Structure 1
Amino acid sequence: MRLLLLGGTKFVGRAVAEEAVARGWEVTALNRGTQPAPEGVTVLRGDRTAEGGLAALATGEWDAVVDTWSWAPAAVRDSARLLRDRVGHYAYVSSCSVYAYPKAPAADESARVVEGSPDAVGEVPYAEAKRGAELALEAEFGGRALLARAGLIIGPYENIGRLPWWLSRIARGGPVLAPGPRDLPLQYVDARDLARWMLDATTARLGGAYNVVSPAGHATTESLLEACVRATGSDAELCWTDPERIVAAGVEPWTELPIWVAPGELYDYLHNTSVARAVADGLRCRPVTETVEDTWAWLRSIGGSAPQRADRPNVGLDPEREAELLKGLQGLQGLPG
């Protein structure tokens, strides 16, 4: 297979490149060259936001494209138009954020989506950007377009900081504010499992929208945080606390306590999505312990400080604020640690 990767040297794109190279595919990546590409990848230079930024793709043919673009949809529109007659299949890393909020629990790909424009340029809200890119791709490739609507993505090379924050925090040890309920099911996808499924789907020429995230109950808050304790080997004490008390204390779910949200509408939106279609077409997710251990090993290999995307806010609870919250919760009946 001859694969063209648009983007692709940091997180999800890196996972796709490494998986494709491991399969013996010929991999070409178009990007700005700000990060080194995985070994075995041929790199073309181009900035999709600049005039003439696709010049390096003026010639050439590929069996498939994987596109990880997250900004203005016009960039996906332009690349799809340019490649339409020289590429057999186009897979786009979209997002479950394209669904309108709120959405019904366990909703599938038929759920209502946000509005989007394939011609939008400049600063576009994330959900509208992803939806606009989907529309652009469908217009040019039709049934040859795969829309992989990923949920929360974690794993080695994560540059958002969610799982790296939990690992770093737990590695410090001591009492850790652990948000309950401890058996709350989580949905996420390891970037490597997303990459593997997308390349399998590309080989099979699957088209249309797929929710690509782990089945409900694949992991829980407890199994995730306990895996962090074991992986880091720290003396951390998980202080399980009722979600109502955490919310009442003004803690921001998803950002100050990454990955976690209290049960309710936001939880259903982020952690309660049907993935029956993707599972039927081969999605398999590795155990949470493997994702956690491999992410911790990667963090240690780069000195413990994860890279951070400039367009995303830092996540995690300030240590002093966490200490104050834990002190205030002393004597209150939370969930036993």
Structure 2
Amino acid sequence: MKTLITGGTTFVSKFTAEYFVAKGNDVTVINRGSRPQVNGVTYTNCDRTALGDRLNGKHFDLILDITAYTEEHIKTLLDSGVSFDDYIFISSSAVYPETNPQPFTEEQPCGYNAVWGDYGMNKLKAERYLQANVPNAYILRPPYFYGIYENLYREAFPFDCAMQDRPFYLPQNGEKKLQFFNVSDLCRFVEILTDKHPDHHIFNVGNKDVVTVKEWVELCYKAVGKNAEFVSVSKDIPQRDYFCFYDYEYVLDVSKQNELMPDTVPLEQGLKEEFEWYKNNLDSVYNRKPYMEYIDNNLVMK
């Protein structure tokens, strides 16, 4: 299968590029060449908003659009002269207003989310432009991605705390819920969509089981081979100063995904796999936040 992947060098897009190359696909990637390319791909060096004629006249069985964050990103790709059979856009659960009843379902109205702001609205505008111009496109709305090649300072933060035998400073009692989706499950679901072509075209994707913040931290420590000790932090302390998620809880209804793909990677297993990769690739996490420095300077009892 001839597959075009936008991105291809960072986290989700890198993992998917490797996955589909390993499956024997003819994979083309679009990116600006700022990081090493995955072995086996055909590389197209350009900004996706300035494609020129690089894709004009080319045909792909699948476009897997992972790096579209705005309506312009979708428009410039569709206007590039490329043709395709299937188009799958990785959108975001940030398109659901935080005031919607939970769990969020695909049928709920979308709109502004005060937590995610312009990010969610831009994703929603991209969705709507794609739907208007490619009615048969598939749109996926994930919660938090995790897994091998994670480049944000999320799992890496409790991993680091565990490796340094630090106690973990927990937002309040740690009962806020988190929902995750492993990048390998994303790839499996993409294969299912291109094989079965279901009538439903918008899917929430993610693990059907959610965890609390405290349970997630415990699993991260367990992946390192350690037990977590906790220090509770008052809600008066801004959470993002010392913790890697917003003070925001939401859950997606993923029943439509489960009808097609009943099983996902257990979170405990996925975190172990991510840590095994991370401990040998510490420099792969970009933009590390100074959570530990804040904790040491402001929260540790002197």
User: Normalization by structure 1: what TM-score?
Assistant: 0.79
Aligned residues of 1:164 and 1:306 also touching (Cα < 8 A): no
> Does 1:162 pair with 2:144?
no
CA distance in 2, matches of 1:83, 1:279: 35
- CA shift, 1:87, in A, is 0.5
2:204 is matched with which residue: 207, 211, 231?
A: 211
Residues of 2 paired with 1:286 and 1:316: CA distance?
A: 30
Query: Equivalent of 2:89, from 88, 92, 102?
Result: 92
- Quote the sequence identity (%): 22
Give the corresponding residue for 2:104.
107
Structure 2 residue runs without a partner (length 5+): none
Give 1:316 deviation, angstroms. Answer: 5.8
Q: Distance in 1 between matches of 2:12 and 2:165?
A: 30
Q: 1:70 to 1:61 in 2, by over 3 A?
A: closer
Aligned runs of 1:1-337 on 2, under 5 Å? 1-50=1-50, 53-82=51-80, 86-114=83-111, 125-142=118-135, 144-179=136-171, 181=173, 185-206=177-198, 208-217=201-210, 219-234=211-226, 237-239=228-230, 241=232, 245-248=233-236, 250-253=237-240, 256-259=242-245, 261=247, 266-268=248-250, 272-282=251-261, 284-302=263-281, 304-308=282-286, 314-315=288-289, 317-322=291-296, 324-327=298-301
* Compared CA separation, residues 150 and 83, structure 1 to 2 (3 A): farther
Structure 1: how far apart are the matches of 2:268 and 2:141? 24
Residue ranges of structure 1 left out of the alignment (5+ in a row): 116-123, 329-337
Aligned equivalents of 1:174, 1:307: Cα separation in 2: 20
Give the 3 Å change call, closer, same or farther, for CA 281–240 of structure 1 in structure 2: farther
Task: Specify the SS of the correspondent of 2:301.
Answer: helix
CA distance, structure 1, for counterparts of residue 207 and residue 184 of structure 2: 12
Distance 2:96 2:3 in 1: 29
SS in 2 for 1:318: helix
Is residue 164–residue 295 contact of structure 1 (8 Å, CA) maintained in 2? no
One-letter amino acid of the structure 2 residue matched with residue 97 of structure 1: A
Q: Report deviation, 1:107.
A: 2.1
User: Which digits, 9 at most, give the CA deviation of each residue in 1:78-121, with x for residues without a partner?
Assistant: 2124457x201100000000112322111201122127xxxxxx
Distance apart, 1:322 and its partner CA: 4.9
Match of 1:334 in 2: none
Structure 2 contact 30–44 (Cα < 8 Å) conserved: yes
Structure 1 residue 162 displacement after superposition: 0.9
> How many pairs does the alignment contain?
297
C-alpha displacement of 1:320:
4.6
Q: Which amino acid aligns with 1:165?
A: F
The alpha carbon displacement at 1:70 in A equals 4.0
Aligned-residue offset at 1:3: 0.9
Q: CA RMSD in A?
A: 2.5
- TM-score, reference length from structure 2: 0.88
